[in-house]
A and B are shown apart, each in its own frame.
Chain A
């Protein structure tokens, strides 16, 4: 195994809510940041690095300064990470790199959002707005429906294959009282009986948007040794960004996570089949399907058979998204991607309670943004 590149020493997570009324994103950021820094056992003054996400509709620019001021921080490294659902994983690698480069020693990575009845629409004036929207393609559902339809046509994958992913996420969410679908399981039949939103995509194959927040604290491996929680090491990472609009995707059946994951495995000296936890970005069922195939866990087109061959629960041989994934937990906007980091840390620390996996040495975390276009993969390991 290679030398660790950094350590996650604190995590924070808020219970998702369907709506917040009259709450600023900044307030949610403050709540979840406090949880992560408390968990690390650090004084806020120890935070000298700050990574944040875009704040559509609230703070168009000067985002790190606005948040630093609000939290009373004076970081020596501050930046926005704008990789959609890959932002959370992307922050962890960037934090480790910034520490290695001497920019700072301890980084707060935070993503959070409020949710009003009518969320602000982003005022795009870019090519996707000019060349996709006028033809009737607004929003992510249609893009992922196009990817799913292409997978079905290329490999003969079925609606039932995809529904297995949503049903497994709902099943795992039954052990997470914070999940938005806690107490609301949905089996394959229920997924298939839910309305078609954009064919072939069913409602229950799509994450539910929620308000929430996630934060992690990253520091050096050396500094992590003296802190209160068992550190979780960043062993390897990979990233790739290929396009924005689905029409420009180099492939509809394989994504940039393929090379990002290959790099993360290579850097960490690990293999996909060695992972004790798969914490895979799941905005839609098709995303998990493609990621399983791109990771090399099965041959292209064979995810359905792979799912049938494995138990994805915390007690199973291939625990996958034990927190329920975003399909079971809810998607707190950009923070949704960071739920996969936070759950991996919980499991690798042995703090996952009744959903604790048995052997918890290695976890694969993936992040995905836009239309299967922004990809970050992390291999995390118990210290």
Chain B
């Protein structure tokens, strides 16, 4: 990509006190998500209660950063003008190995993307902040321990 993603004038997150740990971790290149200690499930996005059982026993845990591509789209006409300089770019639905699905920016790999591709966290500076983007795991690549 010829344009530096970090120079884009794209809308950033609207952070609250509750969601701040997610974005603080993102700035450090980590992906942290809540786990419900009653339900034993990871949840995304952050909430004050577990959406499965309404328990308040939620704790932050760093995720493995591994996931599977559930769907993707190459965006030729962005919904926000800030993205125009890098169009077409790819967004995808990432099913984290911990369970929940998040939407993210998908960096190009060496092969065309396919649904089902394994992905790994690829913290990327976009629009002046580091976001938890993802990139495809290249075939044959050794999964390094986190």
Task: Give the complex CA separation of A131 and B10 in angstroms.
Answer: 13
A135 close to B105 (CB less than 8 A): yes
Q: From residue B82, how far is it (CB to closest CB) to chain A in Å?
A: 9
Contact with B along A112-135 (1 / 0, CB 8 A): 000000000000010101111111
- In chain A, positions 131-173 with a C-beta closer than 8 Å to chain B are 131-139, 141-142, 145-147, 149-150, 153
- CA distance in complex: A130, B131 (Å): 12
The answer to whether B13 touches A130, judged by C-beta atoms less than 8 angstroms apart, is: yes
Q: When chains A and B are docked, how far (Å) is the Cα of A132 from the Cα of B73?
A: 13
Q: Are B78 and A195 in contact (CB under 8 A)?
A: no
User: B73–A198 contact, CB under 8 A?
Assistant: yes
Q: Which of A14-22, A244-252, A298-306, A335-343 contacts B (4 or more CB under 8 A)?
A: A244-252
Q: Mark B102-136, 1 if CB is under 8 A from A, else 0.
A: 11110000000011100000000011010101000
Whether A199 is near chain B, meaning CB under 8 Å from some CB there, is yes
Question: Which one of A142, A147, A247 contacts B79 once the chains associate, using CB atoms below 8 Å?
Answer: A142
Q: Is B1 an interface residue (CB 8 A)?
A: no
Partner of B102, one of A131, A133, A138: A131
Residues of B near A201 (CB, < 8 A) are 73
Query: Chain A residue with minimal CB distance to B132?
Result: A135
Interface centre among B104, B126, B133 (most CB of A within 10 A): B104
Question: How far is A134 from B72 in the complex, measured between Cα atoms in Å?
Answer: 16
Q: Are A247 and B101 in contact (CB under 8 A)?
A: yes
When distances are taken between beta carbons in the complex, the residues of chain B under 8 Å from A142 are 73, 75, 79, 91
Does any Cβ of A come within 8 Å of B15's Cβ?
yes
Rounded to whole Å, the gap between the CB of A252 and the closest CB of chain B is 6
Interface magnitude class on chain B = 35 or more
CA distance A137 to B79 in the complex (A): 7
| Complex interface: chain A residues within 8 A of B129 (CB) | 134
B76 interface hit (Cβ, 8 Å):
yes
Q: How many residues of A contact B (CB 8 A)?
A: 33
CA distance in complex: A150, B113 (Å):
13
Assembled-state Cα–Cα distance A130/B14 (Å): 5
Most buried by A among B75, B76, B80, B101: B75
Q: B12 contacts which of A132, A134, A200, A247 (Cβ < 8 Å)?
A: A134
| B13 and A131 within 8 A (CB) | yes
In this complex, which of B15, B73, B78, B92 has the most chain A Cβ atoms within 10 angstroms of its Cβ?
B73
Docked CA distance A127–B102 (Å) = 11
In the complex, chain B residues whose CB is within 8 Å of the CB of A200: 73
Report whether over half of chain A's contact residues are helix, strand or loop; otherwise say mixed. Answer: helix
Q: Cβ of A252: which chain B residues have Cβ within 8 Å of it?
A: 70-71, 93
A197 at the interface (CB under 8 A from B): yes
Q: How far is the CA of A83 from the CA of B127 in the complex (A)?
A: 33
Does A56 lie at the interface of the complex (its beta carbon under 8 Å from any beta carbon of B)? no
B54 CB within 8 Å of chain A: no
Decide: A135 near B104, CB < 8 A? Known: A150-B115, A197-B76: yes
In the complex, chain A residues 80-121 whose Cβ is within 8 Å of any chain B Cβ: none
Contact in complex: A246, B73 (CB < 8 Å): no
CB distance from A28 to the nearest CB of B (A): 25
Least Cβ–Cβ distance between B22 and chain A, in angstroms: 9
Minimum CB–CB distance for B130 against chain A, Å: 11
Q: Is the CB of B116 within 8 A of A153?
A: yes
Closest Cβ neighbor of A145 among chain B residues: B73
Mask for B40-76, Cβ within 8 A of A = 1, else 0?
0000110000000000000000000000001111111
Asked whether, in the complex, the Cβ of B78 is within 8 Å of the Cβ of A138, the reply is yes
Cβ-defined contact, A131 with B103, below 8 A = yes
Give Cα A382 to B94, complex, Å. 47
Cβ contacts under 8 Å, A134 to chain B: 10-13, 126-127, 129, 131
A132 CA / B101 CA spacing, docked (Å): 12
The residue that A146 contacts in the complex, of B73, B89, B102, with Cβ under 8 A, is B73
Most chain A CB within a 10 A radius of its CB, from B93, B126, B127:
B93
Q: A130-B45, A246-B103 are in contact. Are A150 and B15 (CB under 8 A)?
A: no
**Cβ–Cβ contact B91 & A153, under 8 A:** no
Taken together as a complex, chains A and B put the C-alpha atoms of A145 and B19 apart, in Å, by 28
B 11-36 binary contact with A (CB < 8 Å = 1; else 0)? 11111000100000000000000000
Seen from chain A, the residues whose Cβ lies within 8 Å of a Cβ on chain B are 125, 127, 129-139, 141-142, 145-147, 149-150, 153, 195-201, 245-248, 252
| CB-defined A-B contacts under 8 Å, sample of 22 | A129-B11, A130-B19, A132-B103, A134-B10, A135-B103, A135-B133, A138-B80, A139-B80, A142-B73, A142-B75, A142-B79, A142-B91, A146-B72, A146-B93, A147-B71, A149-B73, A197-B77, A200-B73, A201-B73, A246-B103, A247-B93, A252-B93
Q: Which 10 A-B pairs have the closest CB atoms?
A: A139-B79, A138-B79, A145-B73, A153-B115, A199-B74, A150-B71, A247-B103, A138-B80, A146-B71, A198-B73
